[in-house]
Amino acid sequence: MQSADDEPLTKATTPDKLLKQLDLAVSHHGVDADALLRLIDVYLEEAVRTRNPRYLQSLWGDTTIPGLAGDMLASLTNTSMHTYEISPMATLIEQEMVQTMAHIAGFDVGEGVFTSGGSIGNLYGLLCARDWKLPGVQHDGLSGRTLVAFVSDESHYSVNMAINVLGIGLDHLISIPCDADGKMDVAALSQEIDNQKRAGRMPFCVVATAGTTVRGAFDPLPEIAEVCAREYLWLHVDAAWGGAALLSPKHRSLLAGIDLADSLCWDPHKLMGMPISCSVFLARKANTLAKACSHGDEANYLFHEENAGVDRGRISLQCGRRVDALKLWLAWKSLGHSGWQERVDRCMETAAELEAKVRSHARLVLMSERQFTNVCLRYEPADSDGVDLDALNSSIRERISTEGRFMVTKAVLGGQVIIRPVIANPDVDGAMLDELLTEIVRHGDELSGS
């Protein structure tokens, strides 16, 4: 019999095949409990085993048990975060988590709110930046003014979406080149700010990334903060992925200068093992969110004078909002600061081990200096003359993921296809890493006829 450990991570069923074997349509009379249980069984069979340590594809891995318990408790008690009256303890828990995380980031006053993820956290950042630069914009709109923001060309696509949603226009998000390690080039940033000002546009925000999606690069925050102070620009840091490094005294220097930012987002549903979703948006100055999310006092059907100072619906873009702080609080209570530190350090050690194995393997090339737990690599045959290495590495990754022993993603870095295992699960061990690299090389040898 196959043990859970040997089970493939995915059935890799094609959409057509899966549709054929499922009865997805809902009906007038509904089905009985046995039928529902059978459907649940199929759902579980088809679900990708993301909690297995051999799942190295996404920026999240296992889910911690207190985190799972908190998520279930939130569904069981089913309330919403908009007023203290209907979510008393949840409100205080969210405040506590926000203050704890703000303090860790060095935002001594600080305020914040839980959101559905880094994508929405980036939207909050740009919204606060827009409102700060143009007081009154909530009523006047942009009124013909052309705002421009700046972000590195290795940033997450959600920044583009946020710019679009805010009506600023995708052409007004200026992409700044990165250095060889994937960090924003600050000289190019300064130059672009000048260019935009000369063209009559109004720079308002720089979005720096602390932990880029593909290679885990950290933009140089102190230098970027200096430019922002000089140019009167808001600095938002997308720390959705890299924020967890703040929990480790060994690794928090990766985010040196974060305390100089005006806002940041940080996803505990990534390296911190919280079930999706669990993400926080933090602003350095109090009252930032109350202004940006102001809806006047029109919602008298929800918000009353009592507890007005603590109602979290007054500082959020959402009305109905899930209690996502609960799972994080339970996990934090259980692990303590030291538990987080161990988790982050362990993931970093495993990533360093993987990097060393790649460096010492004759058939593997490390494609970018490792900064976080992302390891960008590719296979190259002994004789690579005339070999399409991009196609070869794409095929290797496809074979690996379809077989389902491991799952990893691929991306394009500097125009070259790379394979990117990432460590977000502290249970990944050296034997698994050896096995993964053996698989990559075996498929590479087979496909290239080496």
Ligand X SMILES: Cc1ncc(COP(=O)(O)O)c(C=O)c1O
Q: For residues 166 and 130, what is the distance between their CA atoms, to the nearest angstrom?
A: 9
Shortest gap between Cβ of 255 and ligand X (angstroms)?
13
Residues that contact ligand X, how many (by CB under 6 A): 15
- DSSP label at residue 222: H
Two tokens at 405? 């022993």
- DSSP label at residue 70: H
Task: Tell me the pairing of strands 416-420 and 409-413.
Answer: antiparallel
Residue (279 or 350) nearer to ligand X, CB: 279
Residue (279 or 288) nearer to ligand X, CB: 279
Shortest gap between Cβ of 374 and ligand X (angstroms)?
10
3-state secondary structure 235-302: EEEECCCHHHHHHCCCCHHHHCCHHHCCEEEECCCCCCCCCCCCEEEEECCCCHHHHHCCECECCCCC
Neighbours of 260 (CB within 10 A): 17
Among the candidate windows 45-53, 199-207, 235-243, 332-340, which touches ligand X by CB under 6 A? 235-243
Residue (70 or 117) nearer to ligand X, CB: 117
How many CA atoms within 13 Å lie on the side-chain side of 195?
A: 13
Does residue 263 belong to the site contacting ligand X (CB under 6 A)? no
End-to-end Cα spacing for the chain = 35
Shortest gap between Cβ of 48 and ligand X (angstroms)?
16
Q: For residues 18 and 286, what is the distance between their CA atoms, to the nearest angstrom?
A: 50
* Cα 42 versus chain centre, distance: 29
Does residue 244 belong to the site contacting ligand X (CB under 6 A)? no
Footprint (CB under 6 A) of ligand X, residues 183-222: 209, 211-213
Q: Which residue is nearest to ligand X (CB)?
A: 117
Shortest gap between Cβ of 170 and ligand X (angstroms)?
17
Does residue 61 belong to the site contacting ligand X (CB under 6 A)? no
Shortest gap between Cβ of 79 and ligand X (angstroms)?
23
Among the candidate windows 236-244, 248-256, 423-431, 432-440, which touches ligand X by CB under 6 A? 236-244
Does residue 131 belong to the site contacting ligand X (CB under 6 A)? no
Does residue 125 belong to the site contacting ligand X (CB under 6 A)? no
Q: Which residues bind ligand X (CB under 6 A)?
A: 59, 117-119, 156, 158, 209, 211-213, 238, 240-241, 267, 279
